[in-house]
Each structure stands twice: as structure tokens, then as C-alpha cells.
Structure 1
Amino acid sequence: MEPIRIELPIGWSMGSVNAYLFTEPEIVLVDAGVKSDACWDMLADGLAAQGVAPRDISRIVVTHPHVDHFGLAARLVAESDATVWVCELGAPWLVDTARMWTERLDYYRRDLLPPLGLTPQTNDMILWSVRELAASADPVPDGVLQMGGAAWQSIHTPGHASTQTVFHQPETRRLLSADMLLAVAPAPVIDQPAPDGRPARAGRPPRAVAAAFHALARRRCRARHRHRLSRTRAAVRRPPCGHRPPARAHRRAQGAMPRLYLRRTGYHSRTVDAARLSRPVAGGGGCPGG
């Protein structure tokens, strides 16, 4: 079926974010905008145009747990029996929100901001903006997250977000790219390095990371990026974008997206067995900013 794009206002510099609606064989919404009345009204209007109400949604797929892709999920769950799916890499932001935001703020204060040499006023402004983002999504109730096998490939694509996952359907050559491809890509949201050392080695100070980026540039990283991007574009048709209107709508194999179950895939592509391997995740939640 043809996925239906619903453009949602977010009130930031990029202006809007896209959600995608699948109406067959059941109602599935991919991403859920930011928590605001304006975004809710636009989403409700977009659903109504397709004869759908929020209470009809059965599943919400979150491409990455940033507030502009997840902000209305809790409200939708409250008005329906929807379950929320997210890759396991992003689950901590959904089930242990207070701890994750505290860790991010501590990381900014301790490791990220001091080496930059910013004024105290600028540091305070950055920390304030992070706290404001924390209010842009509501917690998801206990037990609504499920993860498991998929007919799609789940591919971890850190860059814009360390938790971002894109979904690829090889047979139909479809790619749900979320915010992997943006006009200002990768527009990274800075996260604390992962404790296992991936995608950044734990404990490396920001200056060391910056030096590594400069070294990559000297090895013609931009040329490699263009080459890899051209191969990606050759492998898939134009992907639905996370922000701004796509060039055109895109077909999906009928019924494939509603069968989507996600599990942690590490940092590489993996096609998961069709057998459902799901488990409820305890705890409240929210989502990271960006």
C-alpha cells in the first residue's frame, strides 16, 4: 500500500517533521511528532482525512527516541490500545527517562562543555535548552514497548542520534530513513559515549574525538561519504524523510510494516527471524532531545 505522509509542526528552525500512516491491514503510525497542541491538532486532522481516529491506532513505530519523533506517543497510547515499538538501543530513554536525562546533563557539565571554553552564560543556556527538551514528551506507560523479530532489516545508523535505526525491506528496495538523510545532515545530537565503546570509545574527551574527526577529514572522509551515499541511493528508491516533504510518496509491501518487530541488532545490519520474540519493558519513559 501507499504510505501516507502527515506533516507535523514542531515550532523549531526546521519547521516540521513527518509521520507516516499505514492503514492496511491494521493502523500503524511511524513516528509521532512533538508534544504540543498544534502538533496534536495537525496529526488528528491528518488521521481524520484518512477516516482514522487516534483510538484506531494499533501500533506506533519510533525510528529514534527524539522528542520530535516521539512526543505524542504517550497521548496516543492513552486514547487507544496501541503498542509502541523502538529498537532496544533507544529503550532506556523510554523506560528510565529521569536517569537518562540526568546522565546527559551530568555528561555535558563534566566532559562536554568545559573543554569548549564557552562562557558560563553560554553553558547555562545550553543546559537550560536540554532541560526544555525533556519537557517535550510524556512518559509511556509500563509494558507498552515490544521488541522482537522483523521481516524488515533493522540497521543501526548512529550519526544524527546514537540510537537511530532505519528499516530496509530488501525485496521491495524500500528504506525508512528517519533523520539519517537531512538537508543539514547529520545534525548530530551529542550523547554520552556508550559504555561498551561503540560508537565512540568510552572515556575519550571531546578534544580527542574532535581530533579524530580532523584526521578522518585528512583521509578524504567526505569523498568516502559521497561514495557510500551514492551506493545507498542506488540500492534503494527515494526514502521517506524524517523532516520536510519527500520528493514523492513511496510504496511498501502490503502488510510488511504491521509485522514489524524490533530487537537489538548491535551496530550492523541484520535480518531477524519472523518468529515473534517480544517482551514487555517495565518502567515509565520519555525520550531524548533533538
Structure 2
Amino acid sequence: MRILLAGASGFLGTALREHLRADGHDLRQLVRRTPENGDQIPWKPSSGHLDPAALRGVDAVINLAGASIGGQRWTASYKRKLRSSRVDTTATLARAIAGLPEGERPKVLLNGSAKGWYGDTGDTPVEEDAPPGEGFLSDLCRVWEAAARPAEDAGVRVVYLRSGLPLDKRGGLLQPLVLLFKAGLGGRIGSGRQYIPWMSLADWVGATVFLLERDDIAGPVNMNGPAPATNAEFTRELAAALHRPAIVPVPGFVIQAALGEFSTEILTGTRSLPGVLNRTGYPWLHPTLPAAIKAAL
């Protein structure tokens, strides 16, 4: 399969890129810098520029582009970056796909989205048919997914990857936590009752490939494991896996003082369930949190 990938250098994109190449797919990458080889294609999503020739002969497009959501304060300028790095890239791809003659369009667009669609769900489990919640990330996810509609309206199968928190020691949520726990500084955050929609990185990649190949699946798909855990449960499992204590809880006010508005995403949770993946028979590699943590470490 010939695949065009945007966001290939990020945490998720790197893992997916390596897997697709190992599987023998013909992989091309969209890059904003000067291309380094023939597999890289330049584009300028900030101005909506993508040469339509980049899409000809492509079977599938996967868009994982987007600035990192975590790790820093959401200043006004950074919130604009979070939005433009997702919405502009998606809109540029969707318009370019829709602008091709019908017989030349890719068959599928897998587009990034996030569990932020649902906002804080408390103890209530939600599946893909749940309405959007409230807050900056929920608003962002709405416009992010809407930006892909031109491709959908043109008859292309579009899947929205509502990713939770993929686990791997090389990046994402787990990397900084492992360092803290190994230093004896691990502990629950805030109340510890907020849900974490975890997923092993191997399952995230596996589910993405599964969705790539399943012509009968379209629309939003929750990309998280079958049993979301609370922060307190996650903390206990990680401490046990690392053979370290988890006795240094972090009060909510400390997180709020350090991270400002972004702290809401840490102190609240999303109990999202992978309804589509479960109903369509995705074969989980790591269906439990202990198994996912073990694989990630």
C-alpha cells in the first residue's frame, strides 16, 4: 500500500512509520523543511499549500501532525499553535484530497483527534457516540475533526483517531513518570480519582493498521485500552512494575500553579471506552493495564 504520512517525526508518527516500513508499505512523508530524500514531500499547511501531485497514486493518508499538548503552559500564543498545527494541516489535506478527480483520490484518511473531545467525564463511561464536552481541548477537537469534512463529503473514508494516552518509555505520558518513580518521587496526582484512558503504544500502532485495512470502519474511533484506570490505580500499577514506592502525592494546587490552564487536563479525566475497536474485533495485544505497562517498560 502506498501511504502518505504527516507528523512522521512525532512520538506516535515515529512508531507508526517504523511499523509500516517493516511491513513493506511504500511510505512517503510530508515535511515542512527541505526534503532530505525522495520519500519526503514538502508542504506548507500554514498557507494551505500542498501540491496535488503528492496525493496521486496514494492509497491512504495518515495525518498525525500537531504540536505537543502537554508539558508546558497554555499561553494564548501556544493555544494558537496547538490549533493551527492541527486544523491547518487537516484542512490542507482534506481540501487537496477533495480537489482530486474521483478516481484519483486516496481510499482513506486516518486523521488525528483526541480524547479531549469528551472533556471531563468523571465516572461516566463514554463511547464514540458521546457528544463533545466543554473546554479548550473539546473545542479544538470539534474544529479539528470538522476540518476533515471536505474529504468525507468527497466520498473518502475518514477515520478520526481519538487517541488517549499511549504508553511507551520512549515518550508520551510514561517517559517523565518513569524518571520520577525511579527517583522515589512517584505518587497520585490530585484526588487520584480522575480516569486515564491508557493504551500500549504497540496497541495504538496495531489498531491504526487495523483501521487502515478495515474498509467498513469510518468516523470516530476511541484509541485507548478496554479498561480505563483511575490515576490512583495507574500509580499503583506503575510503582509495582518499577518496584518503587508511590508515596509522594502531588496536590492539585501544585499542578495548577505550575501548569495553569493545562492542569485541568491532568486533574480531570476521561473514562472513554473503545467501543468501535471492541465491536469490530480488534485483537488486543495488551488488554490490561499491567500488561500495557510491562510492554511499555
> TM-score, structure 2 length as denominator?
0.29
Q: Which structure has the highest helix share of the two?
A: 2
Q: Which structure has the highest strand share of the two?
A: 2
Where relative contact order (Cα < 8 A, 6+ residues apart) is larger, the structure is 1
> TM-score, structure 1 length as denominator?
0.30
